[in-house]
Amino acid sequence: MHNFQYHRASDVNDAASKLSACDDPKLLAGGMTLLPTLKNRLAAPSDLIDLGNIAALKGIAVEGKEVVVRAMTPHAVVAASADVLKALPALASLAGNIGDPAVRHRGTIGGSVANSDPAADYPAACLGLDAVIETNKRKIAADDFFLGLFETALQEGEIITAVRFKVPDNAAYMKFRHPASGYAVVGVMVAKYGSKVRVAVTGAGPHAFRVTEMEKALEASFTPAAIANIKVSPEQLMGDIHCSAVYRSHLISVYARRAVEQMTK
Amino acid sequence: MDIDVKMTVNGKAVTGKVEPRTLLVQFIREHLRLTGTHVGCDTTQCGCCVVHVDGVAMKSCTMLAVQAEGRSVTTIEGLAAADGTLHPMQEAFREHHGLQCGFCTPGMVMMGVDIARRLPNADEKTVRHQLEGNICRCTGYQGIVEAIMDASAKMAAKA
C-alpha cells in the first residue's frame, strides 16, 4: 500500500471541507473494497478521509412508507434490524448475504453504493426498491445514479449520507452467489408497488440496471410464466473468468423467475 | 508522517506511533508483539486475522490501525482468564480437536466466540455458513464446527 495522509472527519461538513482541501482524496467508509484496492496498489490517493466516527451517518429509520439507511450503517446492522426485517425483509436478506460475517461488520451501504461495483448487491436494492440516494448536496434517484463500471452520478466533493428505500407491497432478492467471494454472479431484485413492478439486476452488466421488458410483463400478469421467455441480450452483459455473458443472460431469467416464485408462493 | 494511536487491547490501554497505512494486524503483531493473531491471505478472505473490535469480529488485515483509535480490541491472547483458565471456546477446540496445524485457529476461535454471542445454540448448518470467511486447510472443519456448537451451548447456558 502506498502511504497517504489520514484525516478523521468529525461530521459531514468537516469531511466535505477536507475533501475540497486535499489534492487527490478518497473517502474511507468501511474500507472493505478500498483497503484491498490500496493494498494492490490499484489506487494511490493522497489522502484518506475517514467517515467512521460520524455518528449522524449511522442508523436506520422507518419514515412512513420509506426505510432510511444512513450511509455508514454496516451490512450486519441492516440484516439484523427489527425495523428492516419487518418493513423490508428482502433488504435484510440481501444485506445478510454480502461477503462473510466479519466483512458485514465493517462494510457499509454508502461505500457499496458509491463504489458501484458491477457485482455488488446493494445497487440492485437501490434500483429495485426505487431508492433515493441522499448526499450532502442533493437527492439522486437510483434510476439516475448508476452510470457505468464503478461510475456513479456522484460529483467531486459529494458525500452519500443516506439511502431512502420505498417500502413495496412485496419484494424478493435472488442471487447466484459466487462461492468464494460471495459477490453476485447475478442478483435480481423484484419489487411490487400496487400495479407497478420493478426488476433490477446486478452482477451481469457493467453496472446494475432494470429490465423494463420483464417489468411490463409482470405488470400485465404477476406470474413466473409471464417472464419465462424474456431474455436480456448477452451483448449488453459481461463475460469473465467466472462465466460467459450468455450464461449470465440465462441466470437473469432463472433468478428473476425464482424471485417471482417466492413472491407468489 | 506518523500518527499517534491509542486504543485498549485485551483490557490494557496501549499507544503507538504508526504510519497511516499501518494495518491493525501489523500494529497488533509488530508494534505490540502479540503474534497470536495471524496473517494468512492478507486479502480479507481467510479469517486468520479475526479480532474483536468493540466486541464484534473483524478482519484486522483489512482495517487500518488508525481506524481502531479509541476502540477496545480483543485478540486471541485476551480470551483466557488471568489465571490461565481457557475460554470455553478455546477449551472446546481442545476437547474436539478443532485444529491440526493451528494456523487458522486464532481466527477460528475469535469468530467462534462472535458466532456464539450473536447466534446462541446455532445448529450445524448455521455454524458452517457463518464460518465462510474463515478458511482451514487441514481439518475438514468437522472438529471446528463441533467445538463451536459445543462452546455456544455452554456459553448460552452460562449467560
Of A5, A76, A103, Cβ closest to residue B44: A103
Chain A, nearest residue to B41 by Cα: A36
Chain A, nearest residue to B23 by Cα: A35
Q: Identify whether the C-beta of residue A210 lies closer than 8 Å to the C-beta of residue A126.
A: no
Chain centroid to CA A155: how far? 18
**CA atoms of A254 and A257, how far apart (whole Å):** 5
In chain B, domain spans: 3-77, 88-158
Verify whether the Cβ–Cβ distance B58 to A102 is below 8 Å.
yes
Structural class in CATH, domain B3-77:
alpha beta
Query: SS3 helix, strand, coil % of chain A, rounded to 5?
Result: 35, 25, 35
Chain A, nearest residue to B108 by Cα: A102
**Looking at residues B131-159, what average pLDDT do you find?**
95
Verify whether the Cβ–Cβ distance B132 to A32 is below 8 Å.
no
| Structure confidence by residue, pLDDT tens digits, B60-91 | 999 999 999 999 999 999 999 999 999 999 99
| Structure confidence by residue, pLDDT tens digits, A184-237 | 999 999 999 999 999 999 999 999 999 999 999 999 999 999 999 999 999 999
Residue B109 has which C-alpha cell? Answer: 476461535
- What pLDDT does residue B7 have? 98
Q: Which architecture characterizes domain B88-158 according to CATH?
A: Orthogonal Bundle (1.10)
- Taking the Cβ of residue B148 and every Cβ of chain A, the question of whether any pair is shorter than 8 Å is answered with no
A76 shares a domain with A11? no
H or E stretch at A157: none
Mutation target vs A (from B22, B67, B73; most A CBs, 10 A cutoff): B67
Of B3, B44, B59, Cβ closest to residue A6: B3
A90 shares a domain with A13? no
- Taking the Cβ of residue B59 and every Cβ of chain A, the question of whether any pair is shorter than 8 Å is answered with yes
Chain centroid to CA A128: how far? 10
Least Cα separation, residue B5 to chain A (angstroms): 12
Chain centroid to CA B28: how far? 12
Least Cα separation, residue B57 to chain A (angstroms): 5
DSSP A61-72: EEETTEEEEETT
The burial class, CB within 10 Å (0-12 / 13-18 / 19+), for A22 is: middle
- Tell whether the torsion through CA atoms of B56, A82, A96 and B145 is positive or negative: positive
A87 shares a domain with A17? no
A211 shares a domain with A163? yes
**CA atoms of A88 and A171, how far apart (whole Å):** 8
Nearest to A30 by CA among A129, A142, A114, A154: A114
A29 shares a domain with A66? no
Q: Identify whether the C-beta of residue A72 lies closer than 8 Å to the C-beta of residue A29.
A: yes
Interhelix angle B88-95/B142-158, nearest 10 degrees: 140
Verify whether the Cβ–Cβ distance B42 to A182 is below 8 Å.
no
A92 shares a domain with A140? yes
A87 shares a domain with A46? no
- Taking the Cβ of residue B8 and every Cβ of chain A, the question of whether any pair is shorter than 8 Å is answered with no
**Which residue is listed with cell 472443519?**
B141
H helices of A69-228, where? 75-80, 82-87, 89-95, 101-106, 109-115, 122-128, 212-220
pTM, entire model: 0.96
A177 shares a domain with A46? no
Verify whether the Cβ–Cβ distance B3 to A101 is below 8 Å.
no
Is ipTM > 0.85 here?
yes
Least Cα separation, residue A51 to chain B (angstroms): 10
With 80 as the cut, is the pLDDT of residue B159 above it?
no
End-to-end CA distance of chain A: 50
A212 shares a domain with A192? yes
A205 shares a domain with A118? yes
Q: Residue type for B100, please?
A: Q
Chain B residues with beta carbon closer than 8 angstroms to that of A32: 44, 62
Map residue B107 onto helix, strand or coil: helix
Chain B, nearest residue to A80 by Cα: B118
Strands A139-141 and A146-148, sheet pairing: unpaired
Q: Residue type for B71, please?
A: R
Verify whether the Cβ–Cβ distance A102 to B130 is below 8 Å.
no
Q: In what order do the strands lie in the sheet with A209-210?
A: A170-177, A184-193, A196-202, A209-210
Domains in chain A, number: 2
Burial profile B72-92: b = 16 or more Cβ within 10 angstroms, e = fewer: bbbbbebbeeeeeeebbbbbb
Q: Identify whether the C-beta of residue B9 lies closer than 8 Å to the C-beta of residue B36.
A: no
Q: Identify whether the C-beta of residue A94 lies closer than 8 Å to the C-beta of residue A75.
A: no
Q: What CATH number is given to the structural domain containing A236?
A: 3.30.465.10
Strands A47-50 and A25-28, sheet pairing: parallel
Verify whether the Cβ–Cβ distance B58 to A8 is below 8 Å.
no
Q: What CATH number is given to the structural domain containing A34?
A: 3.30.43.10
Nearest to B34 by CA among B90, B80, B75, B71: B75
A104 shares a domain with A23? no
Q: What is the pLDDT along chain A (265 residues), one digit of tens a residue?
A: 999 999 999 999 999 999 999 999 999 999 999 999 999 999 999 999 999 999 999 999 999 999 999 999 999 999 999 999 999 999 999 999 999 999 999 999 999 999 999 999 999 999 999 999 999 999 999 999 999 999 999 999 999 999 999 999 999 999 999 988 899 999 999 999 999 999 999 999 999 999 999 999 999 999 999 999 999 999 999 999 999 999 999 999 999 999 999 999 8
Q: Could you tell me the residue range of the domain that residue A87 belongs to?
A: 57-264
- What pLDDT does residue A180 have? 86
Residue A74 has which C-alpha cell? Answer: 454496516
A61 shares a domain with A30? no
Of B21, B43, B130, Cβ closest to residue A4: B21
- What pLDDT does residue A181 have? 87
Of A5, A76, A102, Cβ closest to residue B50: A102
